Amino acid sequence: MTLPIVKPLDRAAEPGLRALLDGKAKPPGALGRIEDLALQLALIQGRPDPKVERALLLVFAGDHGLTAEGVSSYPASVTTAMVATFLAGKASANAFARAAGAEVRVVDAGVAADLAPHPALVDAKVRAGTRNAAVEPAMTAQETAQAMARGAEIAATCVADGVDVLALGEMGIGNTASAALLMHRLAPAPLQACVGRGAGHDDAGLARKLAVLERAAGRSDATSPLEVMAQFGGCEIAMMAGAVLGAASAGGVVLVDGFISTAAALAAIRLQPAAQAHCVFSHASAESGHALMLQALGADPLLDLGLRLGEGTGALLALPLLRAATRLLSDVASLDDVLAGRL
């Protein structure tokens, strides 16, 4: 497998950028984490006036063999139905994208159905859903490599085409179960701490989900990122992990959504730690385990709104904060100019 190499950020300009921020017409540090975000965006883009003009949400879609075990309260057919909803512009992510001024594309990473061509659909299908990870590896090593390489290629091409911020979303019934297994091995963390209610399990459903995942985890002792992804991952999660690496290698900003997107970022960062500097973690999901996964990464999300939908909705809600941070550098006068009357 050939994945792009992510180089560490060049931080030589950091002292100058921090001085520039401190010299704006405000007390130093008065805008808190927005100042840190402005600095991060400037370092990623390698310029003192970073821009977030073009934002694109990629919704990676795939099905999971684990759904045969009852790990989701919804049938697998909902994945295909929701892809159609995205393409019709009628999902929550579409509404939030319009509000935030972002484009939306859907990537068929592994939907268990034949999807009709559509201008907003990227056909990157690796296989028609993963295998049942409770009884066998979800993907072969070759399928995992293909998914990650394809995700890296898609993301790098988007950045090369002028996308300033790439937001990562997903759709796949059963993918919180897969993400929990990835977190369990890659954070690492006790499995019970990683397993939540997903799209709406009651107590009995949650207990059943945990029992299935205990059986899946007991089947393999994999701990390396690529092997863990092959054993327990999803086509869409593997492709998102590749997208993190592809966007980061091309100098792009990656806006990470919730629990599942963070699991993909976790896998990418465990492979290439330098990728983390390119990631902005948008929000703290209400899904059990997300806070612990963010803690394992040392990541501090921008928002905490009790979201647990996925789709990239949290990333889209955080997008205006990135735009505001860039405007701090480009549009706010310096304190010296204010005091000298040079406005």
Q: What is the pLDDT along the chain (343 residues), one digit of tens a residue?
A: 689 999 999 999 999 999 999 999 999 999 999 999 999 999 999 999 999 999 999 999 999 999 999 898 889 999 999 999 999 999 999 999 999 999 999 999 999 999 999 999 999 999 999 999 999 999 999 999 999 999 999 999 999 999 999 999 999 999 999 999 999 999 999 999 999 876 667 888 788 899 999 999 999 999 999 999 999 999 999 999 999 999 999 999 999 999 999 999 999 999 999 999 999 999 999 998 999 999 999 999 999 999 999 999 999 999 999 999 999 999 999 999 999 999 8
Question: Does the domain at residues 55-322 carry the CATH identifier 3.40.50.10210?
Answer: yes
**CATH (residue range 14-50+327-340):** 1.10.1610.10
In whole angstroms, give the CA distance from residue 130 to residue 64.
Answer: 5
The pLDDT score that the predictor gives to residue 169 is 98
* Global confidence as pTM: 0.97
Q: Which two tokens stand for residue 167?
A: 């937001």
Backbone φ and ψ for 272, nearest 5 degrees, come out as -140, 95
The pLDDT score that the predictor gives to residue 72 is 86
In whole angstroms, give the CA distance from residue 137 to residue 182.
Answer: 13
Bond before 15 cis per omega within 30 degrees: no
Tell which residue, 76, 70, 20, 73, has the closest CA to residue 50. Answer: 20
CATH 1.10.1610.10 domain position(s) in the chain: 14-50+327-340
CATH 3.40.50.10210 domain position(s) in the chain: 55-322
Q: Assign 3-class secondary structure to 217-238.
A: HHHCCCCCHHHHHHHHCCHHHH
- Find out whether 235 and 143 touch, Cβ atoms under 8 Å: yes
Q: Which two tokens stand for residue 7?
A: 């180089």
For tokens 């949290």, name the residue: 314
User: What would the DSSP string read from start to end of 37-49?
Assistant: HHHHHHHHHTSSS
The pLDDT score that the predictor gives to residue 199 is 65
Q: Tell me, yes or no, if 69 is annotated catalytic.
A: no
- DSSP code of residue 274: G
For tokens 């990537």, name the residue: 107
